[in-house]
């Protein structure tokens, strides 16, 4: 695959990162590995990105992770990715070992109240839907009329989003209300330490990915890549999911070269 969409500056940064002692290549799922779609359950991954992620994960001293806002089980089902790729769900709080923070009975009771209230809000604004997760509920308004979408989000923010013990995370046409604190930035810290990686490459497209970019260490060679438009703390940017596939393939290929390893075949 050609490196379409990769600027010379990004190419140079990625090439340097692929020479790390131990490399972590990580990405968001929706808007990066998979295009954004109207129905969340239809988010099929770009096959080229899956091939590239699996190629990179098969290399020595190379860790690969997908960090998503989705429930871990749903992320695994949609992506089709398995070990050695590491999957992290619920905006960085849900690992294969469980949640970073315990979901107590009290938190589950609070979540039930949130779900009820969000469903009541969604019923008032056509096109709005509610997604439930083990530790959060999400109001989706992508398919609502713009005026209804704004009103629904406002109602959720000023209603259950203002309750004690509720953690709000805004995204593109969504608002997630969680009963535990979540952060993709903390997830990267955990992965870096747990996997012993000294350099991290991270791709993200949403507001929630800014927490991940904020935890990168550019002075140590980390590379942050914003996908699409919008303000960002990332040093680099690509346009879309096809460019993401190009970046992932570039990293997998250059990492194999740096290690003197034969690039695995997809």
> Burial of 89 by CB count in 10 Å (0-12 exposed, 13-18 middle, 19+ buried)?
buried
Give the span between the Cα atoms of 204 and 2, in whole angstroms: 21
Helix spans in the chain (H): 8-17, 47-57, 72-79, 105-124, 146-158, 184-195, 209-214, 241-259
Kindly name the residue from 28, 205, 209, 249 that is annotated as catalytic.
28
Give the span between the Cα atoms of 246 and 213, in whole angstroms: 20
CB atoms within 10 A of CB 173: 17
Identify whether 28 is a catalytic site residue. yes
User: 148: alpha, beta or left, given left = phi > 0 and alpha = psi -120 to 50?
Assistant: alpha
Q: Is the dihedral of CA 38, 137, 53, 259 positive or negative?
A: positive
Q: By the 8 A CB rule, do 206 and 28 touch?
A: yes
User: Could you tell me the CA-to-CA distances from 45 to 84, 100, 135, 242, 255 in Å, in that order?
Assistant: 18, 27, 25, 11, 23
What angle do the packed helices 241-259 and 47-57 form, to 10 degrees?
Answer: 20
Phi/psi at 205 (5° precision): -120, -15
Q: By the 8 A CB rule, do 162 and 181 touch?
A: no
Residues that are catalytic: 28
């Amino acid at each position: 695959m050609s490196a379409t969409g990769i600027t010379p500056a990004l190419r140079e940064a990625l090439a340097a990162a692929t020479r790390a002692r131990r490399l972590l290549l990580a990405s968001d799922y929706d808007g990066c590995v998979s295009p954004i779609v109207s129905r969340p359950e239809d988010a099929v991954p770009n096959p080229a990105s899956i091939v590239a992620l699996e190629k990179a994960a098969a290399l020595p001293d190379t860790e690969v992770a997908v960090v998503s806002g989705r429930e871990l089980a749903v992320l695994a089902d949609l992506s089709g990715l398995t070990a050695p790729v590491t999957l992290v769900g619920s905006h960085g709080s849900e690992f294969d070992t469980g949640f970073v923070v315990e979901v107590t009975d009290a938190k589950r009771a609070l979540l039930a109240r949130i779900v009820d209230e969000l469903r009541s809000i969604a019923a008032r604004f056509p096109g709005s839907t509610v997604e439930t997760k083990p530790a959060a509920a999400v109001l989706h308004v992508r398919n609502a009329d713009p005026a209804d979408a704004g009103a629904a989000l406002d109602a959720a923010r000023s209603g259950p989003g203002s309750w004690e013990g509720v953690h709000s995370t805004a995204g593109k046409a969504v608002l997630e209300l969680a009963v535990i604190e979540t952060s993709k930035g903390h997830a990267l810290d955990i992965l870096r330490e747990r996997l012993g990686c000294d350099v991290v490459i991270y791709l993200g497209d949403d507001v929630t990915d800014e927490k991940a970019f904020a935890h990168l260490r550019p002075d140590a060679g980390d590379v942050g890549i914003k996908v699409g438009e919008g303000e960002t703390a990332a040093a680099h940017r690509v346009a879309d999911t096809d460019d993401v596939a190009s970046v992932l393939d570039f990293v997998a290929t250059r990492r194999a070269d740096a290690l003197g390893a034969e690039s695995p075949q997809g």
